[in-house]
Structure 1
Amino acid sequence: MKNGELLARGEEEGFEVFVTTDKNLSKQQNLASRKMAIVVLSSTSWPRIQAAVDSINQAIETTLPGSLHEVRIP
């Protein structure tokens, strides 16, 4: 399934936020027309993601539909 299909399917199923590590997503998709908020994590390292869970949760809570928020994970 391609990104566009995955995003469309998520919206159809009622998802409000899409969390990904795909830093190129904004270049591949027109996100302004999306019903979901997009949260991009800067790391794929699970221990680093776990350590940044508060920042990730804040991004999930505050990012608006059709917008993208990058969470920088050290």
Structure 2
Amino acid sequence: MKLLLDECVPQGIRQDFPQYEVSTVTEAGFKGLKDRDLLTQATGKFDVLITVDQRYRVSTEFKGLKDSYSCSCCQKKYY
């Protein structure tokens, strides 16, 4: 499974997913993209986008990304 870490996610979280292929938005070449553009670029290339941005709105039209997940320790949404 390929995970994409949003710009607002602490880079240290990568260590929490050793069994997955993890890339940052910067590494993927998506730095600075608006939310909608980021989702468009990530769809088909990544399975999950992880963000702590609580203002993020995920449209149902982006079927290529998995469902969102909540972190039980901090109540942040993982998309």
TM-score w.r.t. the length of structure 1 is 0.46
Q: Name the structure where helix makes up a greater proportion of residues.
A: 1
TM-score w.r.t. the length of structure 2 is 0.43
